[in-house]
Structure 1
Amino acid sequence: MQHSVSSSQTHIKWIALMLTNTATRYGALARFFHWSIALLILTDLALGVIGDRTPRTADTVAWLQTLYSAHKTIGITVLLLAVLRIIWAVTQPRPVPLHPERRAETLAAEVVHWALYGAIIIMPLSGWVMHASESGFAPIWWPLGQGLPFVPKSEAVAHAAGAVHSLAAWVIYATVAAHIGGALKHQIIDKDATLARMSHGRAAGNPEAHHGRAAPIVAAGLWLVVLGVALVTGDQAHDTTVTPVASPAQIASSVTGANWTVDTGNIRFQVAQMGANVEGEFADWSAQIAYEDQTGNGSVTVVIDTTTLTLGSVTDNAKGAEFFNVAAYSTATFEADIARTDGAHLATGTLTLAGVTVPVTLPFELAIEGDVATMSGEVVLDRRDFAMGTGYADESTVGFGVTVVVTLTATRAD
């Protein structure tokens, strides 16, 4: 009985020894984190490159949804493993450098090591923030929900997170290449035990050697520069200037005697993609309005800059030739007569969009207090009327109905 207890204790100690690090070797758990994260990162980078190079068409949308869902889910898996890896690393001794006398080489290797630690946190986390802050069609498969606490649905946040994610990708390309190149150099040229320590836990190195303190500081400085550049460029790419102000010099209008100037407003729309509602908006548009509040009659011309369209993660696809085709048709125009009947208002006219003109009637509510008018209206359009998404023959990928919501506040100009 005593022999059995002693044998069990010895077995447990042996397992603990194999799992943990020493000054000269990596334990099994550290090696598991290293190789599993490496495999997942390389897979995720490949999926991202494939996705970026795949044309956005009706034939590829289902494939892209699966690809990006896998990409996002793997990214979150990397993030969770990275957190566990870092927690484990701070509780374990880190094996000493094999060639501490080569100061420059050792410093470079350790900077890459710390930069990779930053990458496996910053890259997936920025991708998750980008996903949570925008509307998109590729859900995360983990049962964690699609949002994040304290992350609002915001194009500005999505652009900033996207810029960080994109620049972090270049950092990870460089650091992974340097890491692999260094490992091959140690294996082929130096013929030392660097790769063997991480592949099967071979012990090597002088236990009296130690790591320098400069590497984590240099790596942190590198990431501060990367984050700063990404946030600045992301802010510049996302121009939040909205100009929904009437300007006769900007728009060709048949309206005469325009007497209302738009102060603020929004043109938003919603469409179903893969069964989930995605919200979009036009940032830049102009309106010229003539309205007589005593009779309830008037006219309106609205010109929309379709190049300022945003539609979550599928913005580029929506701007493409299959939908808004902004390269050929950079503006959309709504021209209508306004009439009031029994207190209700209708703007009845035509909408010219993507080169197609369709009759449209927009019912709206109007409240006037003194010289300030507040208006809100909603209409459902059918994308097929504008020959949009003809390759998407059913609603399994993109819905037919598009709900357009218009709100504005205007001031009497004369």
Structure 2
Amino acid sequence: MSLANTKTAYGAVTRSLHWLTALGILIMIPLGWIAHLAPWSTEAELTTKAQLFSVHKTIGVALFVLALARILWALTQPKPAPLHPERRAENFAAETVHWLLYSTLVIVPLSGWVEHAATEGFAPILWPFGQDLPFVPNSDSVAETAASVHFLSQWLLVASLMLHVAGALKHAVIDRDGTLARMLKGASAGTPAAGHRAFRPLVLAVAAWAALIGGGAAAGMFTSESTPETPKLEAAQSDWQVTEGTLGISLVQMGKQIEGSFADWTAEIAFEPRETPGKAGDVTVQIAIPTLTLGSVSKQALGADFFNAEEHPTATFAAEIVRTEAGYEAQGTLALKGTEVPVTLPFELTLDGDTATMQGATTLDRRDYAIGDSMADPGQLSFEVQVNVALTATRN
């Protein structure tokens, strides 16, 4: 048994790579859809969904490596001659489908891996090297684009696979030639002929990809998924104007820390520094809840079981700024999701003339606001949510 190809037969390496790839595809496609459609409203459902996605991603990385090995091997091997060289249109179509298969076998798993590397969330890849990719930033926009490419290219994979199978069946059932036997048993068939690799099928395959990506862009598939309407926050009438700042949260989901932030918020600040304990001012912070990004679970976090951004699009923190023996604190209440709870935010303050820089953090209990009530196990979703605030403001 020859390991390498000949001009009339496929070698053992080519055939092994072919059938291992076929097995991977047959596992990956249904597993991906089962994971995608699996519910996650309860702890048990979330655990199952995460496990399904972990297995899907892990096999996907293996399939990506296998596809690269198959392509590199094919480039070093002679391609067995077609059994019917006179059927030019048929051979052209077969070659085009092969280019589509090769490209989708790389792009489908790679785009899924890029999406995973660009975001945070559950369902880790089980390979020890699998979580990150070089040059892929942690970015929601990158993750969304990669997810769209992954979704679109899987359909091109399915289409090219169906055409490939249909062609194989035609050769076996109608033509009754040795095409399938060459890949199953390494049988020799056909007559070698001088020739060269045609690139017109490659051009057609590239055109198919361009049509797919262009159609997806026209349909808006490379933009963010629909989110609850973002409320328009009124400009803060403040003695201090915030020039830059971040309002972030962090929590632990299934043992992994996830960090997020709100893109739109305002702060109305009245403040006079003091050296002795006592009230130093007031602050009111308005937060646009739909602007939260939280890794791969952003959409879930805005849903009815969590922040319920559709019905409660804003949150308000109203507090007195108090100088204590230890430093400054904002002591007040946080109104979120229809509930008001007392909150104290200690912070460090640095003053430089009319410029103030502060950094503070506090911990909330999500159960106080009926956030994620269905997730009663802190091992799956931590009860504690840390709020981190950093800003720079100038006196008007």
Between the aligned partners of 2:142 and 2:199, the Cα distance in structure 1 is 35
Match for residue 102 of structure 2 among 93, 117, 123: 117
Quickly say closer, same or farther: Cα 1:84–1:231, change in 2 above 3 A. farther
**Map of 1:71 onto structure 2:** 56
Match for residue 383 of structure 1 among 359, 366, 370: 366
Q: Which amino acid aligns with 2:113?
A: W
Quickly say closer, same or farther: Cα 1:300–1:52, change in 2 above 3 A. same
| Residues 89-168 of structure 1 mapped to structure 2, 5 A cutoff | 89-168=74-153
Between the aligned partners of 1:265 and 1:218, the Cα distance in structure 2 is 50
**Map of 1:174 onto structure 2:** 159
Q: Structure 2: give runs of 5+ residues left out of the alignment.
A: none
Q: Which amino acid aligns with 2:10?
A: Y
Q: Which amino acid aligns with 1:212?
A: A
1:60 is displaced (CA, Å) by 0.5
Between the aligned partners of 1:35 and 1:100, the Cα distance in structure 2 is 25
Native 8 Å contact 1:345 1:365 kept in 2: yes
Native 8 Å contact 2:152 2:212 kept in 1: yes
Q: Which amino acid aligns with 1:306?
A: I
Kindly provide the CA deviation profile for residues 307-355 of structure 1, in whole angstroms up to 9, marking residues without a partner as x. Answer: 2222212222222222112232222222222222347221111112222
**Map of 2:32 onto structure 1:** 48
Native 8 Å contact 1:337 1:349 kept in 2: yes
Are 1:31 and 2:11 matched, yes or no?
A: no
Between the aligned partners of 1:231 and 1:115, the Cα distance in structure 2 is 20
Are 1:265 and 2:252 matched, yes or no?
A: no
**Map of 1:407 onto structure 2:** 390
CA RMSD of aligned residues (A): 2.7
SS at match of 2:166: helix
Q: Which amino acid aligns with 2:28?
A: D
Quickly say closer, same or farther: Cα 1:190–1:301, change in 2 above 3 A. farther
Between the aligned partners of 2:125 and 2:259, the Cα distance in structure 1 is 18
After TM superposition, the score normalised by the length of structure 2 is: 0.88
Are 1:289 and 2:269 matched, yes or no?
A: yes
Native 8 Å contact 1:291 1:297 kept in 2: yes
Between the aligned partners of 2:286 and 2:94, the Cα distance in structure 1 is 57
Between the aligned partners of 2:87 and 2:285, the Cα distance in structure 1 is 69
**Map of 1:219 onto structure 2:** 205
SS at match of 1:162: helix
SS at match of 1:37: helix
Native 8 Å contact 2:54 2:126 kept in 1: yes
Quickly say closer, same or farther: Cα 1:264–1:137, change in 2 above 3 A. same
Q: Which amino acid aligns with 2:7?
A: A
Q: Which amino acid aligns with 2:202?
A: P
1:221 is displaced (CA, Å) by 4.5
Quickly say closer, same or farther: Cα 1:207–1:177, change in 2 above 3 A. same
1:265 is displaced (CA, Å) by 1.7
Quickly say closer, same or farther: Cα 1:258–1:67, change in 2 above 3 A. same
**Map of 1:189 onto structure 2:** 174
More off after superposition, 316-325 vs 206-215: 206-215
Between the aligned partners of 2:273 and 2:190, the Cα distance in structure 1 is 87
Between the aligned partners of 2:302 and 2:286, the Cα distance in structure 1 is 17
The count of corresponding residues between Structure 1 and Structure 2 is 387
Q: Which amino acid aligns with 2:261?
A: E
Q: Which amino acid aligns with 1:64?
A: K
Q: Which amino acid aligns with 1:344?
A: G
After TM superposition, the score normalised by the length of structure 1 is: 0.85
Q: Structure 1: give runs of 5+ residues left out of the alignment.
A: 1-14
Match for residue 47 of structure 2 among 62, 76, 79: 62
Match for residue 233 of structure 2 among 250, 256, 278: 250
Quickly say closer, same or farther: Cα 1:23–1:340, change in 2 above 3 A. same
**Map of 1:359 onto structure 2:** 342
Quickly say closer, same or farther: Cα 1:88–1:261, change in 2 above 3 A. same
Between the aligned partners of 2:285 and 2:55, the Cα distance in structure 1 is 42
| Residues 197-216 of structure 1 mapped to structure 2, 5 A cutoff | 197-208=182-193, 210=195, 211-216=197-202
Q: Which amino acid aligns with 1:262?
A: V
Native 8 Å contact 2:233 2:288 kept in 1: no
Native 8 Å contact 1:374 1:410 kept in 2: yes
Identity fraction in percent: 49
